[in-house]
Structure 1
Amino acid sequence: MIKLLSIAVIAGLLAESNQQLANNSECWTDWFDRDDPSGSGDWETLSSLRSENPGKICSNPVQIDVRTTTGLTVAATGNVVFRADTTTGFVCKNVEQTTTPCHDYRVRFSCNPPFCGGGVCWTKWFDRDNPSGTGDWEVLSSLRAENPGDICAYPLFIEAVTADASMTPAIMTGDNIYAYNPTTGFVCRKTDQASNVCRDYKVRFGCPCSY
């Protein structure tokens, strides 16, 4: 899931269109969050990520970028990190922390231009659900069923913003996001929020322009 540097998920400022081309010579994968720190820590290892996301990470990543699922840098959390590199991936062990346990992290990797492909085209925005029930469920399977032919078979990226005029990026709203990836889609559950309320979101997907 290659993410071009010219398209930042947190920007939310790109023009709205059904097919928007984004090209850049440098690229990043999408964010991955395979583990939670409830066990021995947070293990976002490259080998496991590759196994769970075949073809979506280049063979020789150039850089690794690590953030908490709420957008904080590792330095901002104060966690002691066991490993963070392009060979192993990212590992935070709870046993090595002196104050708070490991935060929940996500990672992405930068790749050389040949892995970037010919560009990414974005779908239109979709808003199939309102948060009046258990939360806001913008899941890919439901969106495909309700919008046949409008979303490619294997999206590369996903972008989620609030459905209001501000189009605030999901990771900047303060909501705890349950799912946010181009395989599942986007889910904000009320039970995960201290306020028991989710914002109303809309999503779009980045697809290979050839689809």
Structure 2
Amino acid sequence: MKLVLLALSCALALSSVQGHFWSPWYDRDNPSGLGDYENLHAQKKRGYVCGGCKPIAAQCRVKGTTNVFTRWSGTAPNKLVIHCSPTKGLVCVNSQQGGGSCKDYEIRYLCPTTSGSWTSFLDRDDPSGTGDWESTRAFRRFTKNNLCGGRRTMCAQCRAKRSRYPYYKTGDRYNTFHDCNWENGLVCTTSVNKKICKDYEVRFKCPTIGNSNCSRCAKWTSWRDRDNPSGSGDFEYVGKRGHNPCSGREPIDIQCRVKATKQRWYTAGQKIRAKCTPSGGLVCVNRDQPNGQLCKDYEIRFLCP
């Protein structure tokens, strides 16, 4: 009996991490064509991944093996175009391999159980014009609905208003990065869909932000400044040699500001290469600035699940 309980507890530990849970292993493609395309965008065409929420980690492996690699650790046996990203997936292209062919990979995602609240289903547009624009940007700009208090949303669920079919069962095609995206919402235009789109409604989940007393709340890190612009620029990027703000988990949100003045990064009047994103951080390069100016010294903080 003790052995059974031990085995059960081990299985539960493997299927969840700090309360978050792993998706099944996905293998939607094989390398017999151009390569192995285990990208998240394509997987979402078959149904929700993480219930419409932003994955906060990913594990990848060659199918039939147990050697796992991630964005942060381990190595793949092939050169990858997308390297086991929680928000993009994995892509291996045959023509880039010395041996001429990719391995067959599978990927799984860590899904957040972070506390939050869902909005009602919202419908700000109809497809009578250029299409149906149910994006977070459109809600904030045209309906003055400041979703999640202006912070990034962490989940999205989308359905056809009349039939209530989920977005992946309607047969419509969606604009890039707006395929019921947890952060951007849904956009279906006639030019992309090649026909009139359905009328959609979308709801979003806003994270609950708390402190150490709330175990399932999202939490802000302290302000961080790993670089200064005295060299080639200010490189506040996320990566193995940069920031790893949430212990290998994908941040829900990010804030960036000028360290000295506390002004928001986009009001500083500088050309920024990595534009303050949770996956990429912020990068400002001195040679991109006009008239020999240097980048300002920036600091950033992350909202961790």
The normalised TM-score by structure 2 is 0.36
Q: Which has the larger radius of gyration?
A: 2
Q: Identify the structure with bigger relative contact order (alpha carbons < 8 Å, sequence gap 6+).
A: 1
